[in-house]
């Protein structure tokens, strides 16, 4: 490997959410979705050069960045986009909120399958709009859409469907037939789909591919908002940046209007980092996938050796949705924090129970230590 993903980087002395959460320095934080890996020199160098120039005035996303994203999408998939469809924002969560402002009038609702990354349910609540959830079915560890409940619960008030593909926290990469079925329901019921695809560069399961929802059907393309961005793939969450791709002109103009005065302009360094990530860091990205695949196998083996826990995925990204239903623990998260000193996310935050979410994007030695601690904690249970 050209890049050193094994390197242990001390993050305790920098301002970051992941490592500052726990007062106890013994706790290994494996909760929030950022990686403990350094960006490669291919991204760091342009950032340094930008910083060394020393002047940090206002910056707008250059047209060139739209072209770069367009080329990236078109070389990785069958989707053909126009560069003018792209709107850059400081983060995908911002885009989820703006999508609610754009698509929902008072009394309208968003539907999303749960468990789901909490900002999906918070976005409609933030602007006092309704939110209705359907459930993902756990099919031998794969979290799948429940089309029956989507169909049943879709009332006339539901104007937008929040789709998350690859799914967070379940890790599912939805197949073409699954996405097509969803599209069919949305078109029949006149529902806009906002498809958050920011984990789509991180497919781990061999033989799986990411399919952009909007690429499958020209009609849904006109009724869709697709969210993409470099932050998960290249570990750039500290430089918020996401793209909302909106083919329909009216929706796009409304979306931009609703951003005005509320959505902050984009960080000058984020623009440099995004360009470098998308154009220079391809080899690093490939090696990252290889490293994450090995981490995933290690974690699956470790977790599945523990009575009461089970892990099948994730098919994409670095977030393991661990089934604790057979553990008989009231709070698997608390048990793991207290007995193993490992900090994971509780499934409550995703609107579920009896699961935990563990982020395995860290140097292998740290993951081995984590697995070892969890195994010991469970083996010592009375």
Provide the Cα torsion 23, 26, 32, 38; round to 10°.
110
> In the Cβ-directed half-sphere of 16, how many Cα atoms lie within 13 Å?
20
Judged by CB under 6 A, the stretch of 4-12, 89-97, 140-148, 247-255 that binds ligand PLP is 89-97
Specify the 3-state DSSP secondary structure of 83.
Answer: helix
**Which residue lies nearer to ligand PLP by CB, 281 or 306?**
281
Binders of ligand PLP among 33-72, rule CB under 6 A? 33
**Is the CB of residue 192 less than 8 Å from the CB of residue 103?**
yes
Is 229 a binding residue for ligand PLP by CB under 6 A? The answer is yes
Smallest distance from the beta carbon of 227 to ligand PLP, in angstroms? Answer: 7
Which one of 29, 40, 91, 230 is in contact with ligand PLP (CB under 6 A)?
91
Total site size for ligand PLP, rule CB under 6 A: 14
Is 231 a binding residue for ligand PLP by CB under 6 A? The answer is yes
**Is the CB of residue 98 less than 8 Å from the CB of residue 227?**
no
Cα distances (angstroms) measured from residue 303 to each of 67, 261, 300, 323: 43, 47, 5, 10
Strands (E), 207-350: 224-228, 242-245, 319-323, 342-343, 345-346
Q: How far apart are CA 328 and CA 325, in angstroms?
A: 7
Judged by CB under 6 A, the stretch of 45-53, 57-65, 235-243, 374-382 that binds ligand PLP is 235-243
Smallest distance from the beta carbon of 148 to ligand PLP, in angstroms? Answer: 24
Smallest distance from the beta carbon of 92 to ligand PLP, in angstroms? Answer: 4
Binders of ligand PLP among 195-214, rule CB under 6 A? 196, 198
Smallest distance from the beta carbon of 382 to ligand PLP, in angstroms? Answer: 36
Per the listing, tokens 């005005």 go with 260
Q: Give the total residue count for the chain.
A: 382
Is 244 a binding residue for ligand PLP by CB under 6 A? The answer is no
Please, what is the Cα angle at 88 between 30 and 320, to 5 degrees?
20
Binding footprint of ligand PLP on the chain (CB under 6 A): 33, 91-93, 117, 164, 168, 196, 198, 229, 231, 237, 240, 242
């Amino acid at each position: 490997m050209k890049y050193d993903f094994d390197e242990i980087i001390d993050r305790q002395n920098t301002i970051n959410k992941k490592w500052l959460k726990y007062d106890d320095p013994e706790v290994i934080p494996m909760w929030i979705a950022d990686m403990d890996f350094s960006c490669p020199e291919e991204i760091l160098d342009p950032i340094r050069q930008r910083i060394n120039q020393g002047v940090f005035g206002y910056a707008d996303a250059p047209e060139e960045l739209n072209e770069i994203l367009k080329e990236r999408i078109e070389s990785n998939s069958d989707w053909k986009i126009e560069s003018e469809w792209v709107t850059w924002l400081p983060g995908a969560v911002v885009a989820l909120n703006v999508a609610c402002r754009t698509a929902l009038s008072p009394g309208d609702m968003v539907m999303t399958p749960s468990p789901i990354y909490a900002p999906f349910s918070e976005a409609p609540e933030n602007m006092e709009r309704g939110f209705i959830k359907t459930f993902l079915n756990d099919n031998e560890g794969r979290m799948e859409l429940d089309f029956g409940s989507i169909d049943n619960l879709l009332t006339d008030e539901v104007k937008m469907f929040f789709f998350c593909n690859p799914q967070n926290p379940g890790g599912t990469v939805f197949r073409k037939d699954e996405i097509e079925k969803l599209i069919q329901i949305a078109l029949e019921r006149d529902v806009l789909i906002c498809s958050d695809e920011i984990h789509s560069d991180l497919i781990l399961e061999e033989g799986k591919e990411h399919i952009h929802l909007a690429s499958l059907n020209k009609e849904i393309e006109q009724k869709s908002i697709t969210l993409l961005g470099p932050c998960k793939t290249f570990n750039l969450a500290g430089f918020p940046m996401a793209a909302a791709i909106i083919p329909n002109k009216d929706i796009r103009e409304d979306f931009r209007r609703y951003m005005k005065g509320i959505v902050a302009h984009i960080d000058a360094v984020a623009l440099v980092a995004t360009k470098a990530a998308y154009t220079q860091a391809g080899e690093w990205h490939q090696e990252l996938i290889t490293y994450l695949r090995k981490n995933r196998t290690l974690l699956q083996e470790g977790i599945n050796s523990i009575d009461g826990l089970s892990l099948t995925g994730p098919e994409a990204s670095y977030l393991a949705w661990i089934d604790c239903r057979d553990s008989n623990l009231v709070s698997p998260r608390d048990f793991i924090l207290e007995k193993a000193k490992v900090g994971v996310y509780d499934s409550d935050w995703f609107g579920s129970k009896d699961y935990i979410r563990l982020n395995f994007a860290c140097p292998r030695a740290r993951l081995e230590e984590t697995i070892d601690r969890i195994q010991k904690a469970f083996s010592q249970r009375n």
